[in-house]
Structure 1
């Protein structure tokens, strides 16, 4: 759930951010182009109005003589040009004199200018001129200042969009985190309060799926428990009959077949016991607050005492390498089953003369359960699969059915811990080391 859900959310966030920012940027660009064009034209018209106002002052006698003037700023480069009553002066001035009154485009000293031509009542003419390059520069500067706030607003809008998207998707992130933090067997419905209405159908569908999965798991648990109970009675009767046959004088061939039959029945009986243990474990309440505080070292001592006779029969040295009182929260039967299955698994593979060392200690807020054996270990391509149900690997010796370590893994997961199996690589030593980490209880 972790990688998939977060990738989906990130992808949705990315698509929303890219789409909205694209709209904002394109809108800003189009609006900026139109605003720049409009501001540029307005600035040109403003400068035309200035030229007309200056020409009005000259015509009324407010300004006389050829001189440099100023328009909207100090660098406006506006000139008053007296053209006389007849064409005179430079060819450009004579050409300018021949134009009609009004706003015209002309040249002065080889440069394009914008001029306003007027004729006085005495027949003399004059022109108020301004460099076209200066006009365009002033208009472009004014247009840039108009567009600058729009350009500065776009990054701000992008930040606002990112914030709004992150805030809007926060309920989805919270739901994903809640699902990631749940135990695998927690099928309680997701809450619908404090969620956007658009998410309600999605969450309701998930809740429906959780209910169907829960019903299916309950049906499976009941089937396993019922089947194990139903099979245990006839299997026990068959075992008793096989024990009775063992007292009868049988030929060697029949006795060999009887031994194979008894071995098969012992294995079937062990399978039923493991299935019943799995059903009892699944029926245990998931609420950790209801569990009691158990001394794990005391539980382990009881398990080792029960298995010690079997270890001696197999010629295996079973005992504690380190045993410290460490409290954990859980069901005593559940913890006993976890330790028993781990030690029983080690007993199946440790050769005669080997040893199994159990260590229990506390590391900070973590309870450490470590079991080391001197067996052959597990091949590198199988070690990651030993906690799978019914996996027995390349050495299916004995009466094991491949459920013991799977039950251990489910118990550890329910207790909120972790389990790891590694092959020991110390010099001159082989074997398997299984490390279980559980939250230590506060008492």
Structure 2
């Protein structure tokens, strides 16, 4: 069963064309064959008229009439004579008759002159049928040649008719996941308008639902941040109070949990902020990506030193991009936070920024354990932490990075480092470069 609308239309229409062409070809062949036979009969009658008027005399082959037609003039005399076939012909009445000559079927025209002598103009039936078949075939050939042309025209017409649907599908595939703008109804066939209107209604409902979810996350995170901050202050005040060792351990666990919760809320607020961002990309300023990275690395350098990690630039070249400084700083910070979390003491994190044609490239490499092959395709999903969750991460950092990169119109790729004995994770971000 064919599920393609284009295939169904093509097969249906070509079947109609083939059946119609076959039936028409059979009738055209039959009609052309009969017409060719009648034409040859007329030729024989005309030749007989010329003979009767004295144009030809004596029995002879009339190849001058048609070299391949095998027409003969047979003089039969005033009384039956000659071969049995000629005597049999003499006994027939004047007119068009079927007979035999030398044992082969022929078509003859019998005539009687004014002096009583008779003659016959004969033509081989086999030759007549061959000539008629050839003429009929020439009549049918244009129809046979027309059928493939019609099939090609049908295919082109179907493809042209369905092109708006293909263009609509391509437009949907090229959209970002968070693009809920309505599909345009212009230049679409009227038959597609109800379908596209239904899709636009669905997109509108999804946009409203996602907006409600984002507002809920942002409001919940904002409301929870205040009590968590107050609890953190109270926990810090307990540092100055003399407590038994067991209480100190429980206080440390409490502070670690509150710190992780605070980090989660900050990430949720950042995610909601970037999702709700509505600034037109045409209004973004030009930002030097290397300067933004240097500022972030300067902030994280103390933490990297405390962890025993060598954090620095492998390559730092001018790479201007169009965006918001806060957005770019958040993108780089989340990438470096993730790298610091998984890089062991004594390890290193290399940052490279350079321009490659029309793209500004940011590459970050660490020598941590990397990501398992079955999980590397999911590291940009929200709240995904993999099989080796470490530190205070909540699985939102790389998801926020992905959202920012998509909003900037770039691409992000993550891969495990496999050169030589090295291990770790390499993340490469490519953003549209801007004029300096």
Q: Provide TM-score, normalisation by structure 1.
A: 0.92
Deviation per residue, 1:242-299 (Å, 9 max, x gap): 2233433333333322222222211111111000000110122263212221111111
Shift of 1:71: 8.6
| Change over 3 Å in CA distance of 1:115–1:298 after alignment to 2 | same
Partner residue of 1:207?
200
Partner residue of 2:60?
67
- 2:413 is aligned with 1:391: no
Partner residue of 1:176?
169
Query: Any idea what SS the aligned residue of 1:126 has?
Result: strand
1:261-280 to 2 correspondences below 5 Å:
261-280=254-273
**In structure 2, distance between residues paired with 1:416 and 1:16:** 39
**In structure 2, distance between residues paired with 1:73 and 1:252:** 127
**In structure 1, distance between residues paired with 2:327 and 2:17:** 60
- 2:88 is aligned with 1:95: yes
Shift of 1:68: 2.1
1:364-403 to 2 correspondences below 5 Å:
364-403=357-396
**In structure 2, distance between residues paired with 1:72 and 1:124:** 23
- From 190, 202, 218, the equivalent of 1:197 is 190
Asked whether the 8 Å contact 1:47–1:71 carries over to 2, the reply is no
Asked whether the 8 Å contact 1:71–1:77 carries over to 2, the reply is no
Shift of 1:183: 2.1
- 2:404 is aligned with 1:411: yes
Q: Provide TM-score, normalisation by structure 2.
A: 0.94
**In structure 2, distance between residues paired with 1:326 and 1:64:** 106
1:206-245 to 2 correspondences below 5 Å:
206-245=199-238
Asked whether the 8 Å contact 1:47–1:72 carries over to 2, the reply is no
Asked whether the 8 Å contact 1:356–1:373 carries over to 2, the reply is yes
Query: Any idea what SS the aligned residue of 1:31 has?
Result: helix
**In structure 2, distance between residues paired with 1:203 and 1:252:** 68
Q: Which moved more, 1:105-114 or 1:15-24?
A: 15-24
Q: Which moved more, 1:117-126 or 1:313-322?
A: 117-126
Shift of 1:162: 2.7
**In structure 2, distance between residues paired with 1:146 and 1:59:** 35
Partner residue of 1:145?
138
Shift of 1:76: 1.5
Shift of 1:21: 2.7
Shift of 1:229: 0.9
Q: Which moved more, 1:31-40 or 1:78-87?
A: 78-87
- From 315, 321, 339, the equivalent of 2:314 is 321
**In structure 1, distance between residues paired with 2:9 and 2:283:** 45
**In structure 1, distance between residues paired with 2:171 and 2:372:** 37
| Change over 3 Å in CA distance of 1:27–1:52 after alignment to 2 | same
Structure 1 runs not aligned, ≥5 long:
1-6
Partner residue of 2:242?
249
Structure 2 runs not aligned, ≥5 long:
none
Shift of 1:60: 4.2
Partner residue of 1:12?
5
- From 45, 63, 84, the equivalent of 2:77 is 84
- From 100, 103, 124, the equivalent of 1:131 is 124
**In structure 2, distance between residues paired with 1:155 and 1:320:** 66
Shift of 1:233: 1.5
Asked whether the 8 Å contact 1:386–1:392 carries over to 2, the reply is yes
Partner residue of 2:155?
162
Shift of 1:54: 2.3
Asked whether the 8 Å contact 1:44–1:139 carries over to 2, the reply is yes
Shift of 1:401: 0.5
**In structure 2, distance between residues paired with 1:47 and 1:307:** 104
**In structure 2, distance between residues paired with 1:290 and 1:40:** 79
Partner residue of 1:49?
42
Partner residue of 2:336?
343
Shift of 1:70: 5.2
Shift of 1:240: 2.4
Query: Any idea what SS the aligned residue of 2:259 has?
Result: helix
Partner residue of 1:40?
33
**In structure 1, distance between residues paired with 2:419 and 2:206:** 45
**In structure 2, distance between residues paired with 1:86 and 1:188:** 103
**In structure 2, distance between residues paired with 1:67 and 1:267:** 119
Query: Could you say what the CA RMSD is over the residues aligned between the two structures, in angstroms?
Result: 2.1
Shift of 1:118: 2.9
**In structure 2, distance between residues paired with 1:102 and 1:287:** 97
Q: Which moved more, 1:385-394 or 1:115-124?
A: 115-124
